[in-house]
Amino acid sequence: MKKIILVTILILMTTVAFGQAMLKVGYVSMNKAINLSNEGKRSKKFLEVQARQTQSLLKAKEQDLLKKEAELKNNIMLNQETRNLKSQEIAKLKKELRDELSKAQKSIRQDEMRHSTKIFKDLVVVIREIAKEEDFDLILEFNVKQTILFSKYEMIDLTDKATERYNKLQSIE
């Protein structure tokens, strides 16, 4: 994907070089724009609350499990068969807790991805509007811009402008 983008950039620059026209290039740090947008901040707060709730629930289950382990360890009156059964039960509970933790982490990652993807798509629309209004020939994502070691063309950072415009649109909706 990056090779395609770089080849496209080189073709554009070569075409412009022969035409002696100036190429107007901008870039946007999408991660920064997503994180600084009002919607991104709300999403982050929501996900943090969700993570804390899940963490406290799992912490309570972990404490219960540790209590059961301590009871087993300290109860010298249990016969070997009962001790083995309780050990198996504790092992099963540990596995369930690990599985539940893994499932919760996966769920939070999916929620984060869903929120980020929506904001990303909306930002792309805003960036295209800015590109048309301000007559940009090319707008790169910041990470792609970093792969370009030299360019005689100035690259304009549009991150703040895109974030501000996105925030205004979100407040209208």
Q: What is the mean pLDDT of residues 27-50?
A: 94
Domain ranges of the chain: 2-172
Task: pLDDT band for 82, please (50, 70, 90 cuts).
Answer: confident
Cβ atoms within 10 Å of 69's Cβ, excluding its own: 15
- Report how far residue 153's alpha carbon sits from residue 29's, in angstroms, rounded to the nearest whole number: 18
Please write the tens of the pLDDT for every residue from 96-140: 999 999 999 999 999 999 999 999 999 999 999 999 999 999 999
User: Across the chain, what does the average pLDDT equal?
Assistant: 87
Place of tokens 């690259």: 155
Using alpha carbons only, how large is the chain's radius of gyration in Å? 27
Cβ atoms within 10 Å of 135's Cβ, excluding its own: 7
pTM: 0.71
